[in-house]
Amino acid sequence: MDCNFNDRVAVVTGAGNGLGRRYALELAKRGAKVVVNDYGVSPGGTGYTDEYALKVVDEIRSAGGQAVVDCHSVSEESSAQAIIQTALDRFGRIDILINNAGFLRDKSLLKMTVDDFDAILKVHLYGPFFLARAAIPSMRQNAYGRIVMVTSTSGLYGNFGQANYDAAKLGVIGLMHAAKEEGKKYNILVNAVAPVAGSRLGAGLFPQEVMDMLKPEYVAPAVVYLCSDKCNCSGHIITAGGGYFSRDWIAEGEGYYFESKEISDDAFAEKWESITDMTRAHHYDNMMEVGMAWLAKTTAPGKKTV
């Protein structure tokens, strides 16, 4: 059975093209009222036009759905707040936030300027922070919320020439984890998707036959689910692309415990293989679990390995 979004209000940023457009169309098709946000910049973050957002709103309305255009930037606090205010003014609430907006300024670390670094962090990291902070009060009031952060395998694993993008996309994972903890008692679930898709930002990276395999339509089911009542998880990272879906997570290895606190660098080097072994890695849901596990590892009498 398809997810139902009747009476739900969604804000989708960067919804004028590619992945964001597909998310907006899929939510609207299932009954959501959608704020189609797009500042209309180029893939490099320059220019402005409302053309893309207007086209998507027309598509939704032509199919019988409800949507409104918003062309504020996500990268400044006041304009990000205005995006959420559009939802509140037009539809009275906000239930779903998809932080999809973004562009690229790829350069090697040594050639990257501070402006290049700052511009990417503003849209990919500060934007989700501004938007979440503006949306959560309404979500708390209604005891319901679904927030989807957009990360990237580049941020999770690293990519040459994308220090700014990688830093921002791993940063939103930390933001997700904090928001997940703070949203628990209000039924606000916060997850992330790492899409692999043939969008404008990926143009030129893959041959056309590969781009055809990586349509936004093949990512959208994960995002639709994470936005729905069916979803009961929070803090998950879902990689999606080409019909393939998986969960990524941050894990800690079994490690090695030195009973003697007089640890020499030679002793550390000797146990390097045990310290870095990930065959029995464990994932923790929050910092409290990490702390409890650390106490268990370091206070168990006579326990040399953990």
Q: Nearest CA to 135 among 123, 117, 148, 119?
A: 148
Q: Match 């019988």 to its residue by tokens.
A: 64
Q: Can 165 be counted among the known catalytic residues? A: yes
Other Cβ atoms closer than 10 A to 241: 21
- Asked if 192 and 149 touch (Cβ cutoff 8 Å), the reply is yes
- Asked if 27 and 10 touch (Cβ cutoff 8 Å), the reply is yes
| CA atoms of 173 and 150, how far apart (whole Å) | 9
| CA atoms of 43 and 254, how far apart (whole Å) | 43
Q: In 38-128, where do the E strands start and end?
A: 66-70, 96-99
| CA atoms of 87 and 96, how far apart (whole Å) | 10
- Asked if 256 and 275 touch (Cβ cutoff 8 Å), the reply is yes
| CA atoms of 120 and 136, how far apart (whole Å) | 24
Catalytic residue among 39, 52, 165, 225: 165
**Which amino acid type is present at position 195?**
P
Residue 1 tokens read as 């059975």
| CA atoms of 215 and 195, how far apart (whole Å) | 10
Residue 111 tokens read as 């050639």
Count each helix (H run) and each strand (E run) in the chain, helices first: 12, 10
Q: Match 């009476």 to its residue by tokens.
A: 7
Catalytic residues: 165
